[in-house]
């Protein structure tokens, strides 16, 4: 189920990465993020991580409090416009698309749940049978038939 969800969400992850990259560039133009937790990486990647955190709901306004590089009025306005657009795009629209796609993927898996359960059971039986020795298999032929009968149930 998790594999199917990740495959279905791969397009959304690409779009989310583009969204984070784009807004990271915008915030990088407004002001570099010089937060102490990002001092071992470049300022651009610090902005990428800050933008990713912002997109996921962790609001950090360290750029506004930086005494070394105070923002002027236009930069404040631009920052808040970019911040509002980022929040609207990432949280309200984009994360709702992801939730809808996960629900859709879960519905697909739920329809095929009996098939998946039987496949897992067959894999477990096969794993147990490989642990037995050939002499044991020959001495107990009723437990190890030559043929496996598969029945399909109509629903």
Domain residue spans of the chain: 2-114
- Among residues 63, 72, 66, the alpha carbon closest in space to that of 23 is found at 63
What distance in Å separates the CA atoms of residue 128 and residue 32, rounded to the nearest whole number?
59
What distance in Å separates the CA atoms of residue 153 and residue 155, rounded to the nearest whole number?
6
Contacts of residue 52, defined as CB under 8 A and 6 or more positions apart, other chains included, come to 20
How far is it between the farthest Cα atoms of the chain? 87
- In this prediction, residues 55-70 reach a mean pLDDT of 68
What distance in Å separates the CA atoms of residue 143 and residue 140, rounded to the nearest whole number?
6
What distance in Å separates the CA atoms of residue 60 and residue 138, rounded to the nearest whole number?
69
What distance in Å separates the CA atoms of residue 97 and residue 90, rounded to the nearest whole number?
10
- In this prediction, residues 13-25 reach a mean pLDDT of 86
Is the pLDDT score of 6 beyond 80?
A: no
- 93-139 pLDDT tens trace: 777 777 887 788 778 778 888 887 888 888 888 888 888 888 888 88
What distance in Å separates the CA atoms of residue 114 and residue 99, rounded to the nearest whole number?
24
What distance in Å separates the CA atoms of residue 30 and residue 63, rounded to the nearest whole number?
9
- In this prediction, residues 7-22 reach a mean pLDDT of 83
What distance in Å separates the CA atoms of residue 92 and residue 72, rounded to the nearest whole number?
29
């Amino acid at each position: 189920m998790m594999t199917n969800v990740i495959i279905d969400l791969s397009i959304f992850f690409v779009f989310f990465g583009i969204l984070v990259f784009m807004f990271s560039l915008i915030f990088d133009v407004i002001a570099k993020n010089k937060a102490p937790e990002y001092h071992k990486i470049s300022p651009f990647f610090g902005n990428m991580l800050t933008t990713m955190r912002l997109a996921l709901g962790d609001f950090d306004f360290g750029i506004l409090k930086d005494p070394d590089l105070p923002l002027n009025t236009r930069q404040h306005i631009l920052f808040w416009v970019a911040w509002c657009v980022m929040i609207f795009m990432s949280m309200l629209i984009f994360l709702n698309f992801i939730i809808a796609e996960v629900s859709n993927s879960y519905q697909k898996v739920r329809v095929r749940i009996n098939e998946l359960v039987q496949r897992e059971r067959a894999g477990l039986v096969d794993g147990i049978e490989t642990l037995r020795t050939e002499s044991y298999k020959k001495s107990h032929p009723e437990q190890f038939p030559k043929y496996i009968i598969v029945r399909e149930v109509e629903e």
